[in-house]
A and B are shown apart, each in its own frame.
Chain A
Amino acid sequence: MDDNAIMSLVTGGEISAMGILYEKYKKPLYGYFLKVTLGDCHTSEDLVHTVFYRAIKYKASFKGQGSFAKWLFHIAHNVSIDQKKKVTGIIEYTADILHGIPVRYDDQDDKAQRNENLETLRKALGKLTSEERELVTMCKIECLRYSDVADIMGISESNVKVRMFRAIRKLRDIFMKLEKCRYEKTGS
């Protein structure tokens, strides 16, 4: 049973069938919001809930012409915009924001190094603008193509690709700077 077939059940009144789609998409959506909110688990869970609430409320707007994933992430994008309006100021990444995310410190050097790199990457993601962060996050979602991201964000596919490449280069530059600072501080 593909997503669109399940969604036709939902639009036909079998609301409970949305449970199947929730089970399939809850993790990608949660991962998306986790990156957009820079690791705020609690808010990300609330936002996933809002997406599915809206998906049920506006189920009639799903016409089955595009993929369900694209429709769902379109809602997620709008939810994300609403969230940004609520949050005033710039969200800065700090390790404290990772409510509930265990920071693993392993004995093995390579794993410890990996954890440090991830920590730097999270900080670097926090230095991107919220639009850039959302774009790179959405482009990494497996079930979405660049053309889907373009439709969701209301820009051309060409623009998505150009902005994506630019954002990744910017992210890499920030990452390198942060790593350099870390090496200078620790001397390691």
Chain B
Amino acid sequence: MKKRDLREKAADLLKNDLAPGEEQEIIKELGNEGITPEEIESLKEMSSGIENAFDHNPSGRMDDMFYSMLKSETRKEEQGELNSIPALRNKYTLMLVAAGITLFILGWFSASMFKASSYNSDELAGLSGEIKDLRETLVLTMLDQASASERIKAVNMIKELDSSNERIIENLFKALNTDENDNVRLLALEALIKYTGNNEVRHQLVSSISKQTSPMIQLRMTEIMTTLNEKSSVPEFRRLLEDSNLNYSVRTRIQDAVVTLL
């Protein structure tokens, strides 16, 4: 065997990529080249030791960076899709103009409210409550739109609303459990995280686990339940594990989560 061919086979040997018979032959040939079986053993150890040289897990910072970039890129993609359809682009422009006019009127209206000394603080609070209700109604109406991008926008608006009423939570769960679009469901899940201090929300989140079929939502559910240390989620995760079509990486993560939670 040529020296170069032998070196190639030696690399296969280090990767345990040779048939048993061939391995002995190569070890013998290498011996003729002055490379003893002991040296080969130590080279194998060295090769496998490399994997453990820097045994460390990345921090949550890396996940944060990735998921925030993913969110922004997803938004750009959605925006690109909207802009690529002229009719929608016009509709979108019209909506922006309408939103601008509404903001102007609201601004003028609010300014005049503050100027009018005859209004007392109760009336102002009542008015602010009505505006809040109107915004909630608007986003909930948007959540029923046929277009996925409109529904995504609605969920993002809900996330920014400083509101935790039952109507909002109920609609977020409706989106999480029934929306046909994975992105809408994922965003609804993200929006629900801030309500997990509420036991009923946690309970409903646990019930939602086995309804999810998208790997990315299953993964996110796994992360959330692990972070919350929600032990009641274990039976639901086990139900998911029974599905033979479950994504391999999701399965591994769920198995890890179950071990952590138990």
Contact = CB atoms under 8 A, between A and B. Distances in A.
Interface of A: 1, 6, 13-20, 22-24, 26-27, 30-31, 34-35, 38-39, 41, 44-46, 48-49, 52-53, 56, 98, 100-101, 117-118, 121-122, 125, 136-137, 139-140, 146, 158, 160-162, 164-166, 168-169, 171-172, 175
B11 A146 contact: yes
Interface string B175-202: 0000000110010000000000000000
Given A45-B61, A146-B15, A164-B14, 7 more contacts: A16-B186, A23-B219, A30-B57, A38-B54, A125-B50, A161-B7, A161-B12
Interface in B51-84: 51-54, 56-59, 61-63, 65-67, 69-70, 73-74, 77, 81
Interface residues of B, number: 46
Most buried by B among A13, A45, A117: A45
A39 B55 CA distance: 9
Interface stretch (B41-49, B97-105, B107-115, B129-137): B41-49
B11 A165 contact: yes
Nearest to B186: A16
25 contacts: A1-B247, A16-B74, A19-B67, A19-B220, A22-B66, A30-B58, A31-B51, A35-B54, A41-B56, A44-B58, A52-B66, A52-B69, A121-B50, A121-B53, A122-B54, A139-B15, A140-B47, A146-B12, A146-B15, A161-B8, A165-B7, A165-B8, A168-B43, A171-B50, A172-B43
B145 to A, nearest CB: 19
B1 to A, nearest CB: 13
A158 B8 contact: yes
A23 B43 contact: no
Given A49-B69, A125-B53, A136-B50, A27 B58 contact: yes
B117 interface: no
B14 A165 contact: yes
Contacts of A171: 46, 50
B221 to A, nearest CB: 13
A34 B216 contact: no
Interface of B: 4, 7-8, 10-12, 14-15, 39, 42-43, 46-47, 49-54, 56-59, 61-63, 65-67, 69-70, 73-74, 77, 81, 182-183, 186, 215-216, 219-220, 247, 249-250, 253
B46 A118 contact: no
A101 B69 CA distance: 26
A172 B52 CA distance: 15
Q: Is the interface of B mostly helix, strand, loop or mixed?
A: helix
B186 to A, nearest CB: 6
B70 A118 contact: no
Contacts of A137: 50
A45 B257 CA distance: 23
Contacts of A6: 215
A30 B62 contact: yes
5 interchain residue pairs of minimum CB distance:
A161-B11, A45-B62, A161-B8, A34-B54, A24-B249
B65 A49 contact: yes
Contact of A168 (B46, B67, B215, B219): B46
A136 B74 CA distance: 36
Contacts of A22: 66, 70
